[in-house]
Amino acid sequence: EAGVAQSPRYKIIEKRQSVAFWCNPISGHATLYWYQQILGQGPKLLIQFQNNGVVDDSQLPKDRFSAERLKGVDSTLKIQPAKLEDSAVYLCASSSGQGGETQYFGPGTRLLVL
């Protein structure tokens, strides 16, 4: 079974530029999560999708971050404009969403904002 796929793996941009990350969850997984992990911290949930609907985006900085999950499969997370403090690893995770508790994480996208 293929795992969670993410791209790109690394991205370097300058502040005020925009950037987008892509995630493809495990096949059949209804629930998709985006987490932000700053160096030395645990992952912080940004947004949770159930199929193509948003379940929780309470910690998403909506003035600059946006996310979508069209057709309930792939998802894109965008930052516009980026700030220095957005430098982090952006992790995508998925779970079956049918009482399945385990969240499986992708390899992450490491973002550096200069």
Partner 1 sequence: QKEVEQNSGPLSVPEGAIASLNCTYSDRGSQSFFWYRQYSGKSPELIMFIYSNGDKEDGRFTAQLNKASQYVSLLIRDSQPSDSATYLCAVKGRGGADGLTFGKGTHLIIQP
- The footprint of partner 1 (CB under 8 A) covers 31, 33, 35, 40-45, 48, 50, 55-56, 91, 95, 101-108
CB of residue 71 to partner 1, shortest distance in Å: 21
Q: Which of 44/83 has CB closer to partner 1?
A: 44
CB of residue 98 to partner 1, shortest distance in Å: 12
Q: Which of 5/20 has CB closer to partner 1?
A: 5
Q: Which of 27/42 has CB closer to partner 1?
A: 42
Residue pair 89/111 in contact (Cβ under 8 Å)? The answer is yes
State how beta strands 75-79 and 88-95 pair.
Answer: unpaired
3-state helix, strand, coil in the chain (%, to 5): 5, 50, 45
Q: Which of 37/66 has CB closer to partner 1?
A: 37
Residue pair 10/109 in contact (Cβ under 8 Å)? The answer is yes
CB of residue 53 to partner 1, shortest distance in Å: 11
Give kind and range of the element (H or E) at residue 17: none
Residue pair 96/103 in contact (Cβ under 8 Å)? The answer is no
CB of residue 82 to partner 1, shortest distance in Å: 22
